[in-house]
Amino acid sequence: MSGLPYLDGRALRELVPMAAAVRCLHDALRAGLDPEDSPLRPVVPVPAGQLLLMPAAWGRYAGIKVAGVAPANPARGLPRIQGTYLLMDGETLAPLVAIDGVALTALRTPAVSALAVRHLAEPGAATMAVYGTGPQARGHVEAFRAVRPVEQVNVIARDPRRAEAFAARCAAGGVRAVTAEGPDGADLVACCTSARTPLFDGALIRDGVTVVAVGSHEPDARELDDGLVARATVVVEARTAALAEAGDLLVPLGNGTITTGHLAGNLRELVAGAVSLRSGPRVFKSVGMAWEDLVVAGAAYEAWTRAI
């Protein structure tokens, strides 16, 4: 591994802009990648939070992300999610490149959400509500604007000062942004928080609105309530991962509000046009999967090799 190249966050974003990340995920799914084949990640509790090991292999590459989830980090001014990614040759498993895992997570998660939004949301969706003010909230504003004509962002957060600062940052990026109390009137809703209980009354979400929930990967934590999930067309990255980690679904499954048959499809089926949209809201629940890191890391490596 002597002299192994390293791509930091700035290099990653230059090599794989948001629109390119959305495109490479789409292309991989259309080329046959099946999210259901991605192994479930081990989650190891440690005093500071959790350690996650996320291996995957597909096509020309294999790779693994070693990630840490440290709930106290935001108060320290650090990202809640830490980590490093190692990309390897798929045939020999020789290391090819190391990548900033924080930046990779901050890119691939909203890119996956945007891919779902491209297929779930109404074409004219122009108003977005975002819960949270951290890296994922910022990434989701960028990602949603890449696939829908978002003209206004309503920022919802517990800390008014952070909400105002986030709105100002969005406005500096060329989109109208205001602080808000709830998701009323939004065409798109991005839930990017560490909440363990529902963020809002699901009855506020009208039919045709698309809600993306990415904040939780724990079976007993959720951002969405039973009522919204029950009314919605629900799409997940993979059924295997969702039924192991997605509290937004496992809680209503456990109390009998829904059954596993309520899941309309996974992301591969959505991209292939095999998901029927019902008349209510649309929900995409993401827990984050190793195949997503692998695909975006592979795209970054290929762009880097072309540039050198």
Confidence of residue 2 (pLDDT cuts 50, 70, 90): low
pLDDT surpasses 50 at 1: no
> E strands along 140-262, which residues?
152-156, 176-179, 188-191, 210-213, 233-236
The mean pLDDT value for 195-221 works out to 95
What average pLDDT does the chain have?
96
- Report which of 163, 170, 212, 166 is spatially closest to residue 187, judged by C-alpha positions: 212
Q: Is residue 220 packed enough to be buried (19+ CB in 10 Å), middle (13-18) or exposed (0-12)? A: exposed
Evaluate whether the domain defined by 6-105+291-307 bears CATH number 3.30.1780.10.
Answer: yes
Evaluate whether the domain defined by 108-289 bears CATH number 3.40.440.10.
Answer: no
Cα separations in angstroms, 231 against 116, 228, 250, 257: 18, 5, 16, 10
pLDDT in tens, 173-182: 999 999 999 9
pLDDT surpasses 50 at 98: yes
Q: What is the pLDDT of residue 32?
A: 96
Q: Where are the domains of the chain?
A: 6-105+291-307, 108-289
